[in-house]
Amino acid sequence: MKRRAFENSAGRFRSVEIDPEVCTGCNTCVDVCFMDILVANEEKRKPPIVAYPEECWFDGCCVELCPQREKGAIRINTPASMKVSVLRGERPQDGEEHTGKGERP
């Protein structure tokens, strides 16, 4: 019996979004995902299937290693509760590094 994978759309939150217009179906994201939330599409050159979105750890390896990341092929939607800084002081702005001392560099 042949197994098929279907996108899990049970929940409203999409942890990973893949743009089918940009994704080339190289499956690099499938290979590097530690949590195996992505499954290769049976159709060649089609985006992978997000089979287990609730298992995502939001580490970003799928985005970082995507050859089409500059074009926006894949993105992670980090939940608001995970965007809060656990360090004291102001949260660094995009592109800034945090010194860990509660102040901006």
Range of the domain at 56: 16-77
pLDDT in tens, 6-34: 555 555 578 899 999 999 999 999 999 99
Residue pLDDT, tens place only, 62-93: 999 999 999 999 999 988 777 765 555 555 56
Domain-located, residue 2: no
3 state SS of 32: helix
Contacts of 58 (CB under 8 A, 6+ apart): 15, 76, 78, 79, 82
Q: Does 35 map to a domain? A: yes
d(CA 42, CA 33): 18
Q: Is residue 48 part of a domain?
A: yes
For the cut 50, the answer to whether the pLDDT of residue 105 exceeds it is no
* 58 domain residue, yes or no: yes
> Which CATH number do you get for residue 57?
3.30.70.20
Does some domain include residue 103?
A: no
Report the number of distinct structural domains present in the chain: 1
Q: What is the pLDDT of residue 104?
A: 45
Whether residue 86 is contained in a domain is answered as no
pTM of the model: 0.67
Q: Which residue has the higher pLDDT, 45 or 103?
A: 45
